[in-house]
Amino acid sequence: MIIDELPDRQYPVVVVGTGFGALFFVHKLLQLQPATKVLMLERGPFRSWETQVAEGHNSHIRSDETFKATGIPKFWNFTIAYGGGTNCWGANTPRMHPNDFRQGTLYGRGQDWPLSYDDLEPYYSAAEQIMDISGPDDLHRITPRSLPYPQPPHRLSAVDRIMKTAQPDMHFALPSARSRVATKQRPQCCASFDCEHCPIGAKFTVHNGFAHIMDATNVLTLVEAEVIELERSSPSAISGVRFRWRGREHRVGCDVCVLGANAIHSPAILLRSGFDDPLLGRGLNEQLGVAVEVLLDGLDSMDGSTISTGANYAFYDGPFRAERGAIFMVFDNDFPYGLRKEFGRWRQTLSIRSAIADELNDENRVSVNEQGEAVVHYVGNSAYTERALEHYLEHLPQVLAPLPVERIVDKGLRRTQSHVQGTLRMGARPADSVVDDGQIHHHVRNLVVVGTSVMPTCPPVQPSLTAAALSLRAADLMFGAQS
């Protein structure tokens, strides 16, 4: 329930942010303890979906105006508004590969995650049910699953059908939270290609997916309330949260604090609060995005049922990951470079957007300046990623060999993948991480960190399904039978 005055000054649970990490945590908490009183503090405004579609943007607050930057210029993209990234996201939802969780042991690159694929699997399945994900059963071969996808896969394009026949173990329908079939809340995706502001509401958002949280009378949400810092009563406990609202500073007390303000603002809040963990704020990352257009010779494509239809794993996993990063390829069903101009060939084009895993660099980091503002220091992506890029561009023609390819046009690097990650990584020990495998701060035991900031490596897949599953698990560990 959105409120415009604060009824109480003390809450059992205070949640910072209302994005993926925060909402899925609260969803699970309400399942386990339906009557618990929760206060959610959201920096951005509440914007109905109709307003977002009508105005053509998710929030009037630009992400790059919320922090300062030094070093190599780079665009970090996120939404500051009620619902966070559930508003703007494209709704692609692959799971991480089982080997992504142990890339330190297997490939000597980065850290192992403090939990395994099998530990997270039931929560992946639960998150997929909540979001009514559409996906193919045969993807089980790469990412094993205990429950079928709630919705059938999207219709493949002509390109995907050829790739699937030639590479049945590598090419799959891309899982997504864009409806394949209509549900009570969402119509069927009609492939209109403006997913940030989906005109028909076919993708999962807070507005069509978490009405029970928005309506719950024991979940109070204050919007345009910017959390400044967390207050500690002792070195091991948070006692309250300080925030700015309607031009004044306020304080609320809490028994448990859930921090989900994204991978730039969550570390900034902890730094302003005097936390000094060695890895706090370090390892900010996202994948390196690379785009190509494939001009097709005589093959009319773009007959799939959503904006992106194919996922290809040819460059994803293997011993090569000791030397170069994993790559996840997304085959689009739209035409970001326009239709072909030649008479009769307008649909003979294919856009492929691939994401290359980066290696965490502690010099890519978030700090705060004297005014308390978040500052991003960026020194660039790793040589590990560059080697993968070089290999990809050289070997892409072999992977695309089943297609009638006229020419591959390198469209260059994407300015962002829109995935801010790292900075409060999870791990087994305080020396290599900020939070433990249950996402609880190693020393401050009533502080849970949620969202993509806890990711200790940069897998090549989109991160939000994983952030959702992690939140369900963290809430279960904290409030469920095992707690």
Which positions lie near ligand FAD, rule CB under 6 A? Answer: 16-22, 41-44, 77-81, 84-85, 88-92, 196, 226-227, 260-262, 265, 269, 418-419, 451-453, 462-465, 467
The Cα-based distances of 323 to 58, 103, 315, 364 in angstroms read: 39, 12, 13, 21
Per CB under 6 A, does 190 bind ligand SF4?
A: yes
Per CB under 6 A, does 178 bind ligand SF4?
A: yes
Is residue 259 within 8 Å of residue 230, measured between CB atoms? yes
Q: Which is nearer to ligand SF4, 351 or 439 (CB)?
A: 351
* Binding residues among 331-350 for ligand SF4 as defined by CB under 6 A: none
- Written as six digits, the tokens of 323 are 């030397």
Q: Which is nearer to ligand FAD, 243 or 403 (CB)?
A: 243
The Cα-based distances of 29 to 46, 256, 403 in angstroms read: 22, 12, 48
Among ligand FAD, ligand SF4, none, residue 198 binds (CB under 5-8 Å by kind): ligand SF4
Per CB under 6 A, does 225 bind ligand SF4?
A: no
- Which of residues 192, 236, 369, 483 is near ligand SF4 by CB under 6 A? 192
Is residue 63 within 8 Å of residue 286, measured between CB atoms? no
SS3 290: strand
Q: Which helix (H) or strand (E) holds 235?
A: none
Minimum distance from CB of 344 to ligand FAD (Å)?
33
Among ligand FAD, ligand SF4, none, residue 20 binds (CB under 5-8 Å by kind): ligand FAD
384 phi-psi bin (left φ>0, alpha ψ -120 to 50, beta other): alpha
Per CB under 6 A, does 356 bind ligand SF4?
A: no
Dist CA 94 CA 116 (whole Å): 16
Minimum distance from CB of 179 to ligand SF4 (Å)?
8
Per CB under 6 A, does 228 bind ligand SF4?
A: no
Is residue 302 within 8 Å of residue 130, measured between CB atoms? no
Q: How many CB atoms lie within 10 A of CB 250?
A: 16
- Which of residues 80, 158, 302, 307 is near ligand SF4 by CB under 6 A? 307
The residue to which tokens 């000094």 are assigned:
276
The Cα-based distances of 441 to 20, 25, 114, 123, 426 in angstroms read: 19, 16, 14, 21, 9
CA-wise closest residue to 431 among 301, 215, 295, 280: 280
Alpha-helical runs (H) found in 337-421: 383-399
Per CB under 6 A, does 219 bind ligand SF4?
A: no
Among ligand SF4, ligand FAD, none, residue 209 binds (CB under 5-8 Å by kind): none
Minimum distance from CB of 8 to ligand FAD (Å)?
18
Minimum distance from CB of 207 to ligand SF4 (Å)?
13
Minimum distance from CB of 86 to ligand SF4 (Å)?
13
Minimum distance from CB of 309 to ligand SF4 (Å)?
10
Of the ranges 186-194, 239-247, 323-331, 446-454, which one interacts with ligand SF4 (CB under 6 A)? 186-194
Site residues, ligand SF4 (CB under 6 A): 178, 189-195, 198, 200, 202-203, 306-307
